Amino acid sequence: MLELTIGMATYNEYSETYFTLQALRQYHDLENTELLVVDNYGCEETRRLVEDEFHGRYVLATDIVGTAAPRDLVFRLSQASAVLCCDCHVLFAPNAIARLKQYYREHPNSNDLLQGPLLHDDGVGISTHQEPQWHDMMWGTWATDPRGEDQSGKPFDIPMQGLGAFSCRKSAWLGFNPMFRGFGGEEGYIHEKFRKAGRRCLCLPSLRWMHLFHQSAVPYPIRIEDRLRNYIIGFLELGLDLRPLLDEFRGVASEDLILATFAEELFRDRRQPAS
């Protein structure tokens, strides 16, 4: 069986996908590793790039909407024992992939969610995790734990982290709520889901990654309605306090929208059969 799948979703981002795949091939240990790209936009150039240039697996999935569904698909379609899911505009620090593989060799039964520090654009500063706080209608604010500054340091528990890069064994993946649509609601949600299942969310100081944030235009639509709805769905599923969530969106989203979305998802949640 393959040791690791490195998978990513892309949406009309040929150039970003090219540079992420090229950096992986040029600078990292890809032995016994598959490259998997889920395209929920539909780009023939991207297909040729993945299949012909990198001999990876390309999956066309234009029937799925948002960021959660294609990330889920990366785990479901993986042919390896472990999965590293990343954005298609992420670069990994030297030895990050090799050290992740070594971690799984040393912890073959791990059911934990693994992440690493976000490396800032200056190549020096890091954000090891996010604190579960609201800011600008997003759950999670960047923070730094000094334990993450030593790349050879031991893993430590974190409350949550940005999902530009995250990993777990394929069989350990718990999945995003299939009702998620559009952008938002995944950070914090998946971490709490792992903890409620008796697992840990760990920062591996060696799994450093750099993310492209500064873009003139995001290639996919971002709607407040989607973000609000995803958060409500996730919080209801996990039994989290909805009051701070609703307060965060007041003044930006209309009161009618907030109440209608909350009522719709509350009643939907209560109609779900008990598992």
Give pLDDT tens digits for 151-198: 999 999 999 999 999 999 999 999 999 999 988 999 999 999 999 999
Q: Which of these, 125, 109, 126, lies nearest to 117 by C-alpha position?
A: 126
Residues 132 and 228 in one domain: no
State the Cα–Cα distance between residues 64 and 84, nearest whole angstrom: 20
Give the tens place of pLDDT for each residue, 124-161: 999 999 999 999 999 999 999 999 999 999 999 999 99
Residues 181 and 82 in one domain: yes
Residues 15 and 123 in one domain: yes
Tell me, yes or no, whether 124 lies in a domain: yes
CA 193-196-197 angle, 5° bins: 90
- CA dihedral of 273, 173, 50, 44, whole degrees rounded to 10: 10
Domain that holds residue 199: 2-211
State the Cα–Cα distance between residues 210 and 188, nearest whole angstrom: 20
Task: Assign residue 175 the CATH number of its domain.
Answer: 3.90.550.10
Residues 158 and 257 in one domain: no
As a whole number, the mean pLDDT across the chain is: 92
pTM of the model: 0.93
Residues 133 and 266 in one domain: no
- Name the E strands within 93-245: 113-115, 118-119, 126-127, 129-135, 138-143, 156-157, 165-169, 201-203, 209-211
**What pLDDT score was predicted for residue 215?**
63
User: Higher model confidence: residue 122 or residue 66?
Assistant: 122
Tell me, yes or no, whether 168 lies in a domain: yes
Q: Which of these, 264, 274, 226, lies nearest to 68 by C-alpha position?
A: 226
- Tell me the CA distances in angstroms from 126 to 64, 106, 235, one per residue in order: 33, 26, 29
End-to-end CA distance of the chain: 32
State the Cα–Cα distance between residues 25 and 75, nearest whole angstrom: 21
Residues 203 and 241 in one domain: no
Residues 248 and 112 in one domain: no
State the Cα–Cα distance between residues 75 and 38, nearest whole angstrom: 11
Domain count of the chain?
A: 2
Is residue 112's pLDDT more than 70? yes
Residues 155 and 250 in one domain: no
Residues 116 and 82 in one domain: yes
Radius of gyration of the chain (CA): 18
